[in-house]
Structure 1
Amino acid sequence: MVTTTALETELLELAGAVPDPELPVLTLHELGVLRAVHVQGTDTVEVDLTPTYTGCPAIEAMTLDIERVLRAHGMREVTVRTVLAPAWSTDDITPEGRRKLQEFGIAPPRVRENFGPVPLPLGPTRTIATDVTADQDPVRCPHCYSTETELLSRFSSTACKALRRCLVCREPFDHFKEL
């Protein structure tokens, strides 16, 4: 059993409050990429950070922001380690993070019932409530909440988002893909 000290809990909260550089509406805690904080001595800390995907360009900015925040809190030496196992998944996004994505105009990833590999079907690009299988919810428009949407591009402003359009209100929107 791993015990966490009061200082580690405090530093985890501080590092977790850092905004994601690509989605500043979310904190690193809400995105689920901040894994652990380990204090060693009185002013040395090691932080475990898991990128949303291997090679994520935002990892460097996240690292610098975490270092800045923790140094401002009195930590002399801050080491941020990139931890690839267990891999990050959209299941790691907190309910608060999902709510914030929706409010920001990005359709949050659908909640998966079964854990494990995510299937990549190359089927129809439109998702209408009647077209969706029982184990998968439709992608809802974050503007009007319609389930009648279509895929415009499998990639959007970042590799972890797809570009979709609502067939009812006709507004384009990002969809945070399930990973």
Structure 2
Amino acid sequence: MSARAAVSAVVDPEIRVVTIDDLGILREVTEDPETGRVTVTITPTYSGCPAMDMIRADIRRALATAGYLDVEVVTVVAPAWSTDWISETGRAKLAAAGIAPPNPARRAGPIPIALAVPCPQCGSAETEQISRFGSTACKSLWRCRACREPFDQVKPL
């Protein structure tokens, strides 16, 4: 198994339905052909994310299992992570798990303001934010008025 494949399969410890690759946390995986050293570059979803220590440990464990013992995990904060980095596969996995993925950010023109988030259970736009804070700091808590189900939304950044 390649180093990239091993690291790409690491599951996010807070949102267990997606990998760090799906979320765009995984930036780069390089292997030095001379030494065999693997360097993994990651970016936290936000400053102070408590999951980063677990992610680093999971990366080292995945690489060790794949036979890579000389590993360096580098955390970079610039450019800052954006919800635009979530892959289409990641967005689909979030929605399938009942977590509303954020819409891609727009970089030009008027900035859209989301007054409602479509319910990942029934698709209704009749939703309301219950709390700016969900089950983790990177999510907010919403409720669907149509099906009455609560759901998390990954906060758009």
* Same-fold call, TM cutoff 0.5: yes
Counterpart of 1:162 in 2: which secondary structure? strand
Deviation of 1:136 (Å): 5.0
Corresponding residue for 2:77? 84
Could you list the per-position Cα deviations for residues 48-69 of structure 1 after superposition, in whole angstroms to 9, with x for gaps in the alignment? 0101011111011110111011
Deviation of 1:178 (Å): 0.3
Alpha-carbon distance in 1 for matches of 2:16, 2:69:
26
Corresponding residue for 2:43? 50
Could you list the per-position Cα deviations for residues 56-97 of structure 1 after superposition, in whole angstroms to 9, with x for gaps in the alignment? 110111101110111222222111111111111100000010
Counterpart residue identity of residue 41, structure 2: D
Identity of aligned residues (%): 49
- Of 3, 28, 36, 1:11 maps to 3
Deviation of 1:137 (Å): 8.0
- Of 15, 20, 32, 2:24 maps to 32
Could you list the per-position Cα deviations for residues 87-128 of structure 1 after superposition, in whole angstroms to 9, with x for gaps in the alignment? 11100000010001001000111122326xxx7xxxxxxxxx
TM superposition outliers: structure 1 runs of 4+ over 3 Å: 135-138
Corresponding residue for 2:67? 74
Cα RMSD, aligned residues only: 1.8
The answer as to whether partners of 2:116 and 2:128 remain within 8 angstroms in 1 is no
Deviation of 1:171 (Å): 0.9
Counterpart residue identity of residue 80, structure 2: A
Greater Cα offset, 36-45 or 51-60: 36-45
Deviation of 1:43 (Å): 2.6
| TM-score (normalised: structure 1) | 0.80
Alpha-carbon distance in 2 for matches of 1:99, 1:108:
8
Greater Cα offset, 40-49 or 104-113: 40-49
Equivalent runs, 1:12-161 vs 2, <5 Å: 12-40=4-32, 41-114=34-107, 138-161=116-139
Tell me the matched-pair count: 154
In the alignment, structure 2 segments of 5+ residues that lack a partner are: none
The answer as to whether partners of 1:110 and 1:139 remain within 8 angstroms in 2 is no
Structure of greater Rg: 1
Corresponding residue for 1:178? 156
Deviation of 1:138 (Å): 4.1
| TM-score (normalised: structure 2) | 0.91
Alpha-carbon distance in 2 for matches of 1:165, 1:137:
13
Counterpart of 2:107 in 1: which secondary structure? coil
Alpha-carbon distance in 2 for matches of 1:31, 1:137:
24
Counterpart of 2:143 in 1: which secondary structure? strand
